[in-house]
């Protein structure tokens, strides 16, 4: 077991341990946000035939070459072809076919003139300028041919990807399975949100925060309730979570008389990889893996023992659990986006540990500015709910001057959506 790792060392240790989960088959309609576990090959040619890209008139291009606004070329409208219809009847030279977007181009036609560029007069249409060959026609197979690889394994399934899969006739798709995460809080003082907070009791809000963060990253949280600060009860709760892919606990990972997580997970066969990270908030954190799962021969779940203070639990989740869950889900990018910002007011701390400072972000004159949310105590969770980013305050530094350039992890990605300009590095 290693102790007191740097943040980077701890992140590397975790990501070197975890790997993408096995594939599962889901309905295409339910696959948004998932990662493809297969290459998708086209079983169809798209478009299946030459088709019109516009509403207009299909013609022989050669017949229009003398056309001008002063001396238009008149053509008889011999047939009409709608989207979804057939175009079996050949178009004779000098004739035109009324055609609509997506409709197959009739044999003999090699150009489509937009309806805005003609003068229609009953059964006749006047062409006002020469139409080039291939004009406004989507050629058969120009998007894909049978056997083309149209999506690669590892791609994230977005709304357009779902539409593409549907256009290929797919109703099912193979994706990386979502991680199942057992969530557990421990503490004699904890109650559920509807419980009484008299006598020093507090609501077990960490479980709700951590469950929401799991869902945000695409994992499936399973809430196992509150355990008292009793090794036997904590062990029973832990055993219930051994069928999950990860167990995430909050509180009980320090060295106090009531901190039993480390001892209990070791008793149950967890090999602790490291204990303690050089960061604030969130120093007393444990990471390990159980040597066996509930099924014979199965590997056991990873365990993340997070601190009990609400901000510490959320920040350590962001730095360690979230990247692990993203990798297990098949994503190739694991961390939050970072930006460079300027510091609104100076910050000070004791040198030694890397600090994550909760900040609000705003843009002035094209520059991003970061401002502290105020009280940075790890028990003041309101500041976490107000924060748009976590400012990275290097461990060796004791002061960041007003106006200095700083690195910020953006935890509210809606910040990007709220501004039209792009952000370098995102």
pLDDT, tens only, 361-383: 999 999 999 999 998 988 788 88
pLDDT at position 105? 96
Distance CA 84, CA 79 (A): 15
pLDDT at position 182? 97
pLDDT at position 173? 98
Cβ atoms of 187 and 229 within 8 Å: the answer is yes
Distance CA 422, CA 161 (A): 23
Stretch(es) of the chain classified as CATH 2.170.190.11: 51-138
CATH of domain 2-21+178-328: 3.40.980.10
Number of helices (H), then strands (E), in the chain:
9, 29
Instruction: List, for residues 382-425, the tens digit of each pLDDT value.
Output: 889 999 999 999 999 999 999 999 999 999 988 876 665 444 44
Per-residue pLDDT, averaged over 12-34, amounts to: 97
- Give the rounded distance of the alpha carbon of 163 from its chain centre: 18
Tokens of 67: 């056309």
- Per DSSP, the three-state class of 402 is coil
Q: What is the pTM of this model?
A: 0.85
Stretch(es) of the chain classified as CATH 3.90.105.10: 24-45+145-176
Tokens of 58: 């299909």
Largest CA distance in the chain: 98
b/e burial code for range 384-418 (CB count within 10 A of at least 16 → b): beebbbbbbbebeeeebeeeeebbbbbbeeebeee
Cβ atoms of 247 and 184 within 8 Å: the answer is yes
Distance CA 340, CA 240 (A): 43
- For residue 334, CA distances in Å to 117, 249, 306, 325 come to 52, 21, 19, 8
pLDDT surpasses 80 at 185: yes
First-last CA distance in the chain: 35
What's the whole-number average pLDDT of the chain?
A: 92
Instruction: List, for residues 198-238, the tens digit of each pLDDT value.
Output: 888 988 899 999 999 999 999 999 999 898 888 898 899 89
| Residue 294 banded pLDDT, cuts 50, 70, 90 | low
- For residue 300, CA distances in Å to 169, 293, 415 come to 39, 4, 38
From the candidate CATH numbers 3.40.50.2000, 3.40.50.670, 3.90.105.10, 3.10.20.340, the one assigned to the domain spanning 24-45+145-176: 3.90.105.10
Tokens of 70: 């002063």
Distance CA 130, CA 64 (A): 5
Query: Would strands 124-127 and 73-81 be described as parallel, antiparallel, or unpaired?
Result: antiparallel
Instruction: List, for residues 253-290, the tens digit of each pLDDT value.
Output: 766 665 788 888 989 899 999 999 999 999 999 999 99
Peptide bond just before 171 cis, omega within 30 deg: no
Cβ atoms of 245 and 21 within 8 Å: the answer is yes
pLDDT at position 424? 47
Q: How many CB atoms lie within 10 A of CB 337?
A: 16
Cβ atoms of 118 and 126 within 8 Å: the answer is yes
Instruction: List, for residues 104-133, the tens digit of each pLDDT value.
Output: 999 999 999 999 999 999 999 999 999 999
Query: Among residues 142, 159, 57, 46, which one has the least CA distance to residue 100?
Result: 57
pLDDT surpasses 50 at 426: no
**Concatenated DSSP letters for 39-92?**
PEEPSS-BSSS-EESSSEEEE-GGGGTT--SSSPEEEEEEEEE-TT----SPPP
* φ/ψ of residue 54, rounded to 5: -145, 160
List the single range of 42-56, 184-198, 275-289 with lowest mean pLDDT: 184-198
Stretch(es) of the chain classified as CATH 3.40.980.10: 2-21+178-328
From the candidate CATH numbers 3.40.50.300, 1.10.150.120, 2.40.340.10, 3.50.50.60, the one assigned to the domain spanning 338-417: 2.40.340.10
pLDDT at position 63? 94
Conformational region of residue 367, where left means phi above 0, alpha means psi within -120 to 50, and beta covers everything else: beta
**What's the angle, vertex CA 219, arms to CA 215 and CA 221, rounded to 5?**
70
In sequence order, the 6+-apart residues with CB closer than 8 A to the CB of 69 are 128, 129
Partners of residue 99 on adjacent β-strands: 56, 81
Stretch(es) of the chain classified as CATH 2.40.340.10: 338-417
CATH of domain 51-138: 2.170.190.11
| Residue 325 banded pLDDT, cuts 50, 70, 90 | very high
Alpha carbon dihedral 35, 37, 38, 44, in 10-degree steps, equals -40
**DSSP one-letter code for 184:** E
pLDDT at position 414? 83
pLDDT at position 254? 67
pLDDT at position 256? 61
């Amino acid at each position: 077991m290693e102790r007191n790792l740097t943040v980077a060392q701890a992140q590397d240790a975790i990501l070197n341990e975890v790997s993408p989960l096995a594939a599962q088959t889901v309905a295409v309609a339910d696959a948004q946000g998932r990662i493809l576990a297969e290459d998708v090959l086209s079983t169809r040619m798209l478009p299946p035939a030459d088709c019109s890209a516009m509403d207009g008139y299909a013609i022989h291009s050669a017949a229009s070459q003398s056309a001008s606004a002063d001396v238009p070329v008149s053509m008889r409208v011999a047939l009409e072809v709608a989207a979804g219809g057939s175009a079996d009847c050949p178009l004779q030279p000098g004739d035109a076919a009324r055609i609509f977007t997506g409709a197959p181009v009739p044999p003999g036609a090699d150009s489509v003139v937009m309806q805005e560029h003609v003068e229609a007069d009953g059964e006749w249409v006047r062409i006002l300028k020469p139409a080039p060959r291939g004009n406004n026609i989507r050629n058969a197979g120009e998007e894909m041919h049978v056997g083309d690889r149209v999506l690669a394994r590892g791609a994230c399934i977005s709304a357009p990807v779902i539409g593409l899969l549907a256009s290929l006739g797919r109703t099912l798709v193979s994706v990386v399975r979502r991680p199942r995460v057992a969530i557990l809080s421990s503490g004699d003082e904890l109650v559920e949100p509807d419980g009484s907070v008299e006598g020093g009791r507090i609501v077990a809000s960490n479980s709700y925060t951590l469950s929401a963060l799991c869902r945000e990253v695409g994992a499936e949280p399973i809430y196992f309730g509150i355990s008292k600060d009793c090794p036997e009860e904590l062990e029973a709760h832990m055993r219930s979570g051994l069928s999950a892919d990860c167990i995430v606990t909050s509180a009980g990972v320090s060295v106090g008389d009531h901190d039993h997580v480390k001892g209990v997970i070791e008793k149950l066969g967890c090999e602790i990889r490291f204990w303690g990270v050089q960061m604030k908030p969130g120093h007393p954190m444990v990471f390990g893996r159980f040597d066996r799962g509930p099924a014979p021969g199965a590997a056991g779940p990873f365990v993340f023992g997070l601190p009990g203070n609400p901000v510490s639990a959320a920040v350590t989740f962001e730095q360690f659990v979230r990247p692990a869950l993203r990798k297990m889900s098949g994503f190739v990018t694991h961390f939050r986006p970072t930006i460079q910002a300027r510091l609104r007011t100076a910050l000070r701390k004791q040198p030694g540990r890397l600090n994550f400072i909760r900040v609000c972000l705003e843009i002035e004159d094209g520059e991003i500015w970061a401002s502290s949310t105020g009280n940075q105590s790890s028990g003041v969770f309101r500041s976490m709910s107000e924060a748009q980013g976590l400012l990275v305050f290097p461990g060796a530094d004791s002061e960041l001057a007003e106006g200095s350039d700083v690195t910020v992890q953006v935890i509210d990605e809606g910040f990007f959506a709220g501004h039209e300009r792009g952000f370098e590095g995102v």
